[in-house]
Homo-oligomer: A and B are copies of this chain.
């Protein structure tokens, strides 16, 4: 069934769309009440975030826009040391979208939300003219498990860990667009279990960030700027799969600037670095984790290259890959 503009009216068709697809998949006692707002019990301090998703194509190896929309927001909450609890989902649907496609996206969201331990408690649906694209905004609320984790918090000598291989989401999306056949799948994943493992093992995390749009280079520059420090990384330590390396070589891409959707950095005190690395590697989503550098005095991000040289790593300029997430 094709969605037409009448499905955005707020009347009978909107109601059918919501009942037949969204309520069926997101079913829970809070959402089902269909009030103007969900009412929640939250203890203590909360983390609160939002993200919109416009990825094209909507389906790709390793996931789809719905999985991204859950994982992206779950990860933003996790990075603040919060346990993700509740999500909202706002759909902007272009007329011409197939209801089965929306159903597939919603079903993926259901599964991803279950894995991440979150409930979708409020939603909204709008329909605009267009070519059948679907845009999703999710917001999320989580309960802070540990205070003081902040991008402003890194100190000299701290060690930087990266949870796994770079560039896979970026390469997967690009492969889909260019019609390149390969085995590269998006790394899209919920990262709370890594955070939870680190916190349970009393790692004194200074700062965490998921490495998304703009890539590792951009995230590390944000750390440098916010914590007023220099970030030094070692190129040989950066984990990149052989297949992504090959992909980058052919297309002239730099994994430092490529987007990921299931990777994070954690900055930890030097004496806990090895223990944190072991914890990450024991987690399914951190199997290829590595220590990639450290915090020093100064400004900017510098990298010791494979050839032993040293260069400054700037933030991403220009367009990167549009609509990567």
Q: Which residues of A contact B (CB under 8 A)?
A: 4-6, 8-15, 33-42, 45-54, 75-77, 79-80, 82, 86, 88-92, 121-124, 126-129, 135, 137, 139-142, 144, 150-152, 208-210, 212-214, 218, 222, 226, 257, 259, 315-324
Contact = CB atoms under 8 A, between A and B. Distances in A.
Given A8-B322, A316-B12, A323-B8, A124 B50 contact: yes
B214 A37 contact: no
Given A36-B208, A49-B88, 5 more contacts: A10-B213, A46-B141, A52-B137, A54-B128, A137-B139
Contact of A92 (B14, B92, B141, B222): B92
A77 B12 contact: no
B34 A151 contact: yes
Question: By DSSP majority rule, is chain A's interface helix, strand, loop, or mixed?
Answer: mixed
A198 to B, nearest CB: 16
Nearest to A48: B38
Contacts of A6: 318-320, 322
Given A42-B42, A88-B50, A319 B139 contact: no
Counting every copy of the chain, the complex holds 2
A262 B320 CA distance: 42
A139 to B, nearest CB: 4
Contacts of A124: 50-52, 137
A36 B137 contact: no
Contacts of A150: 33, 35
Contacts of A77: 36-37
Given A5-B319, A8-B323, A40 B45 contact: yes
B126 A80 contact: no
A41 to B, nearest CB: 6
Nearest to A47: B37
Contacts of A214: 9-11, 14
A128 B49 CA distance: 21
A269 B42 CA distance: 31
A158 to B, nearest CB: 17
A253 to B, nearest CB: 14
A46 B47 CA distance: 13
